Structure formats: structure tokens, C-alpha cells
Amino acid sequence: MKRTILLSLLVLTLQPVPPVMGQPAGRAAMNPAETAFVAAASRRIEDHFVAEVARITGTTPRQVRKAMPDEHRITSTAMRLIAALEVELGTPLSAEQQAEILEADRMRKQALAQAREAAGGR
């Protein structure tokens, strides 16, 4: 059993790795200007999202940032954020607040995708 697992891990480590991880097929890597554009847009979009969630929940941006999970590790950022804010506040958020946060998250994701697309056209 151990040997099978070790062999499987060895085979997986020998698989070819794509030149740019996370890059869509057929798309060249972004140049420095595109990378800077996406980074600046992402910060602006994230700041707006945090401010919007703080407004919806009646908390501060600091509390929202503290409750936010790592986007790269969690599949449902908004649901994890809602749960963390409820713990932080000691009370459940209303269905309306939850719906507003989910919509703000959808808009955030859409804006991030548009920023990446816009960078590709620069």
C-alpha cells in the first residue's frame, strides 16, 4: 500500500507542468503593464467590496477584512465571510443582508474578470 502511494506521488511529480499556471490555454502571459493594471484594479475592486459589506452589515472595513477568507483557498468566499461576520457580530445576518453580500460578491467577481479581460486588450 505504501509503495503504491509513493509510486503514485512519484508519477504525479514527473508530469509536465504548464509553463504558466492558472493561465488560460492559448493566452500568453501578461506583460508588466497588464499585470500592474490588473493588480491596481483588483485592489480597487476589493476595497469597494469590503466597503459595501461593511455598509450592509453596519461594521467597519477592518472587521470585514478580518473576517474575509483567503480567496484562493475557499470556494465560497461570500458564504464563509457571512459565517465569519456572524461569529464576529454574535448575531445572524438577516436574509436580506446575506442576499446583498452574495450580490456584492457576484459583482466583485464579475468586475475582477472584466479587469483581467481589459488587461488582455491593452
pLDDT tens-digit readout, 30-83: 888 888 899 999 999 999 999 999 999 999 999 999 998 876 766 688 999 999
How many Å apart are CA 72 and CA 100, to the nearest integer? 22
How many Å apart are CA 112 and CA 43, to the nearest integer? 10
pLDDT for 66 equals 92
Total-model pTM: 0.71
Is 104 buried (19+), middle (13-18) or exposed (0-12) by CB count in 10 A? buried
How many Å apart are CA 50 and CA 107, to the nearest integer? 12
